[in-house]
């Protein structure tokens, strides 16, 4: 009985003392979130019967160990899973590329050879300097016969020739090796972008196998080393056709492993977000600093130059023939919490921290074009594209490049978190619409009435359409408002503008024919104590 017990103990010890089984994992798919990615990989390993240790190489450098999921056949039981970046044994196989390893070894050998040749050339140069010094010293010595001096000169000539030829041979050899070294370094830099990265991440599995043989393994986990952001390209050829919008994604990953021919899914969800429902607490008011809202007179114009109210993409209402073929490879899924883009075309995303552009969808957006001008702030008119019913497209927040009539105009920003019914996209400045704003001297001036100063301001705004087509233009100006009872303001003339008395903004909706010029006038009066100064008038 004791012999049987020791035999079983010995066999068990031998089983656990077996060397680890190493295998390489290959990336099959990746679901990329705004702040991370879920990576799915596969591997093959030849496992013995019984209990053994399986080390899976080529996983991400940093992973959330709690999210690791392992899939294996029914005859294999996974006893434990551990993530590590340490070496398992001294005999651990190199996870790097054999081709890159060969190039690096060749570079090391060439660098050693070039260094050795450099030392030999230095020795030859020193010998030549010593030979020249000895000749000069010998020639200065007296007592040498003509024959002895002739022999000395002949020796010096032959020896110097020998040294110079040897130094030239070494220089040519060094030059050839240097050219070869530069070629290998160039190949290394090129292949680094092609060969998969060698990550330090490893999954160590304790498994129990019923039958020895080849075992397929599937694994998935979350890592923080990847992200993506929406990006758009808006192209318009004229002011009559729809806008061609390309919905793109900028994908960045530094997981330590290259994704080769991987199936991509992009999700707007946040996997590590706190999922605990919030609870309201009592709201107590207390005295503190008074909040002063920021007021910017350029807000209206700046909103058109840099900010755009949102778009949203889902299924296009247009026929499939109207869309580019790239749309056929992307499936958009929307639920209550996020939007996902499943891409059927496999992609290569290298772990180099650079942005990789992925095209998701192409769609035509019907737009109504109009012009917009605020001559008080800008002496040029802007072309706007207005999109109605834009909520059907379900877009995410992101930057957009604008290309109009084949020319790059600039960037704008698409923000879906808006409540307006119409989306306005600034398509850039239209040089064929001239706008001027001039102060009328004989209608402006200052009067002194008793203790008050009264100033009148009158401006003429002129708009000319130099285009071949009629245009619709929204023209805006403003008059000042008072927050002090000592400052009295009166709007004298608005030329039929829509007047917003709360903001002081005047709006004209103009229809201008080709070659037509239109004028509007604004005039207002400001009355205030003459011993006071208004700095921003």
Domain ranges in the chain? 15-96+197-223, 98-192, 230-260+296-367+389-425, 440-529
Q: Would you state the pLDDT for residue 180?
A: 85
Identify which of 357, 190, 347, 358 has the alpha carbon closest to the alpha carbon of residue 258. Answer: 347
Provide the 3-class DSSP secondary structure of residue 332. Answer: strand
530 secondary structure, DSSP code: T
Q: Would you state the pLDDT for residue 52?
A: 92
Cβ contact 456:523 at 8 Å:
yes
List the beta bridge partners of residue 459: 439, 522
List the beta bridge partners of residue 222: 38, 64
Name every residue whose Cβ is closer than 8 Å to that of residue 357 and which is 6 or more positions away in sequence.
231, 248, 249, 250, 251
Pick the CATH number of 98-192 from 4.10.280, 1.10.3470, 1.10.287, 3.30.70: 1.10.287
Identify which of 234, 280, 140 has the alpha carbon closest to the alpha carbon of residue 427. Answer: 234
Pick the CATH number of 440-529 from 2.60.40, 1.10.3120, 1.10.10, 1.10.357: 2.60.40
Cβ contact 311:339 at 8 Å:
no
- What gap in Å lies between CA 533 and CA 510, rounded to an integer? 37
DSSP letters for 249-297: EEEEE-SSS-EEEEEEEEE---TTS--SPP----------PPP-----T
- What gap in Å lies between CA 429 and CA 448, rounded to an integer? 43
pTM: 0.58
Q: Would you state the pLDDT for residue 222?
A: 93
Q: Extract the tokens encoding 396.
A: 């995410």
- List strands edge to edge, sheet with 50-59: 21-24, 50-59, 201-209, 76-84
289-294 own/partner pairs: CB under 8 Å, 24+ apart:
none
Backbone torsion region of residue 410, taken as left when φ is above 0, otherwise alpha when ψ lies between -120 and 50, otherwise beta: left
Identify which of 386, 270, 287, 366 has the alpha carbon closest to the alpha carbon of residue 322. Answer: 366
CA angle 78, 82, 83 (to 5 degrees): 135
Give, for all 537 residues of the chain, the pLDDT tens digit. 444 433 443 444 444 446 889 999 999 999 999 889 999 999 999 999 999 999 999 999 888 888 999 999 999 999 999 998 877 654 455 445 566 667 777 888 888 888 888 888 888 877 777 777 776 666 555 556 667 667 767 777 777 778 888 888 888 888 888 888 888 777 665 554 454 556 788 999 999 999 888 999 999 999 988 999 998 888 888 888 888 888 888 999 989 899 999 999 998 877 755 555 566 665 655 544 443 433 343 433 333 333 333 323 233 333 333 333 456 777 877 766 677 888 888 888 988 888 888 888 888 888 888 899 999 998 889 888 888 777 777 778 888 888 888 888 888 887 766 667 777 777 778 888 999 999 998 888 888 888 888 999 999 999 999 988 899 999 999 999 988 888 899 999 999 999 998 889 999 999 999 999 999 999 999 999 988 888 887
- What gap in Å lies between CA 375 and CA 463, rounded to an integer? 10
Backbone torsion region of residue 130, taken as left when φ is above 0, otherwise alpha when ψ lies between -120 and 50, otherwise beta: alpha
Q: Would you state the pLDDT for residue 286?
A: 53
Cβ contact 47:212 at 8 Å:
yes
- What gap in Å lies between CA 332 and CA 313, rounded to an integer? 9
Q: Extract the tokens encoding 146.
A: 């003509």
Q: Would you state the pLDDT for residue 433?
A: 92
Q: Extract the tokens encoding 470.
A: 């009629």
Backbone torsion region of residue 443, taken as left when φ is above 0, otherwise alpha when ψ lies between -120 and 50, otherwise beta: alpha
- What gap in Å lies between CA 384 and CA 420, rounded to an integer? 16
CA angle 428, 246, 301 (to 5 degrees): 25
88 secondary structure, DSSP code: -
Q: Would you state the pLDDT for residue 423?
A: 77
Inter-axis angle of helices 146-192 and 98-140, nearest 10? 160
Identify which of 271, 171, 291, 288 has the alpha carbon closest to the alpha carbon of residue 222. Answer: 271
Q: Would you state the pLDDT for residue 279?
A: 62
Q: Would you state the pLDDT for residue 162?
A: 83
Q: Would you state the pLDDT for residue 464?
A: 95
- What gap in Å lies between CA 174 and CA 121, rounded to an integer? 9
Q: Extract the tokens encoding 407.
A: 């020319």
What is the number of other CB atoms lying within 10 angstroms of the CB of residue 335?
Answer: 8
143 secondary structure, DSSP code: -
């Amino acid at each position: 009985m004791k012999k049987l017990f020791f035999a079983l103990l010995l066999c068990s010890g031998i089983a656990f003392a077996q060397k680890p089984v190493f295998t390489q994992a290959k990336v099959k798919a990746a679901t990329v979130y705004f702040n991370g990615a879920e990576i799915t990989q596969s591997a093959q390993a030849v496992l013995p019967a019984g209990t053994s240790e399986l080390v899976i190489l080529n996983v991400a450098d940093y992973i959330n160990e709690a999210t690791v999921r392992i899939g294996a056949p029914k005859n294999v039981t996974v006893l434990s899973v551990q993530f590590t970046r340490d070496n398992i044994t001294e005999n651990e196989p190199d996870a790097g590329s054999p081709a890159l390893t060969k190039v690096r070894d060749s570079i090391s050998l060439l660098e050693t050879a070039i260094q050795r040749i450099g030392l030999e050339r230095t020795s030859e140069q020193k010998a030549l300097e010593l030979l020249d010094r000895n000749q000069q010293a010998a020639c200065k010595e007296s007592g040498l016969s003509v024959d002895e001096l002739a022999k000395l000169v002949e020796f010096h000539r032959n020896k110097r020739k020998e040294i110079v030829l040897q130094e030239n041979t070494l220089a040519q050899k060094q030059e050839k090796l240097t050219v070869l070294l530069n070629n290998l370094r160039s190949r290394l830099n090129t292949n680094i972008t092609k060969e998969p990265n060698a990550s330090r991440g490893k999954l160590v599995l304790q498994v129990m196998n019923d039958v020895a043989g080849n075992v397929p393994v599937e694994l998935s986990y979350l890592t923080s080393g990847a992200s993506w952001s929406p990006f758009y390209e808006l192209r318009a050829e004229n002011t009559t056709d729809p806008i061609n919008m390309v919905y793109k994604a900028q994908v960045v990953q530094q997981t330590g492993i290259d994704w080769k021919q991987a199936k991509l899914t992009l999700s707007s969800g946040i996997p590590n977000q706190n999922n605990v429902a919030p609870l309201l607490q009592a709201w107590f008011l207390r005295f503190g600093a008074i909040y002063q809202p920021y007021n910017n007179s350029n807000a209206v114009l700046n909103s058109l130059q840099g900010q755009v109210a949102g778009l949203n993409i889902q299924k296009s209402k247009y026929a499939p023939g109207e869309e580019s073929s790239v749309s056929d490879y992307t499936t958009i899924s929307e639920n209550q919490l996020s939007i996902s883009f499943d891409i059927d075309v496999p992609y290569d995303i290298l772990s180099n921290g650079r942005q990789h552009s992925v095209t998701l969808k192409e769609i035509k957006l019907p737009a109504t074009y109009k012009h917009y001008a605020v001559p008080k702030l800008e002496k040029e008119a802007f072309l706007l594209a207005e999109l109605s019913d834009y909520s059907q497209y379900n877009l995410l927040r992101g930057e957009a490049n604008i290309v109009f009539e084949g020319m790059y105009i600039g960037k704008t920003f698409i923000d879906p978190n808006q409540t307006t019914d119409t989306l306005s996209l600034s398509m850039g400045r239209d040089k064929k619409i001239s706008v001027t704003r001039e102060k009328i001297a004989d209608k402006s001036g200052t009067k002194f009435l008793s203790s008050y100063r009264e100033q009148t301001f009158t401006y003429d705004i002129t708009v000319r359409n130099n285009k071949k087509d009629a245009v619709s233009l929204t023209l805006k100006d403003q008059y000042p408002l008072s927050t002090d009872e000592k400052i009295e303001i009166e709007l004298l003339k608005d030329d039929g503008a829509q007047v917003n008395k709360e903001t002081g903004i005047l709006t004209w909706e103009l229809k201008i024919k080709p070659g037509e010029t239109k004028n509007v006038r604004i005039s207002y009066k400001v009355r205030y104590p003459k011993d006071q100064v208004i700095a921003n008038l």
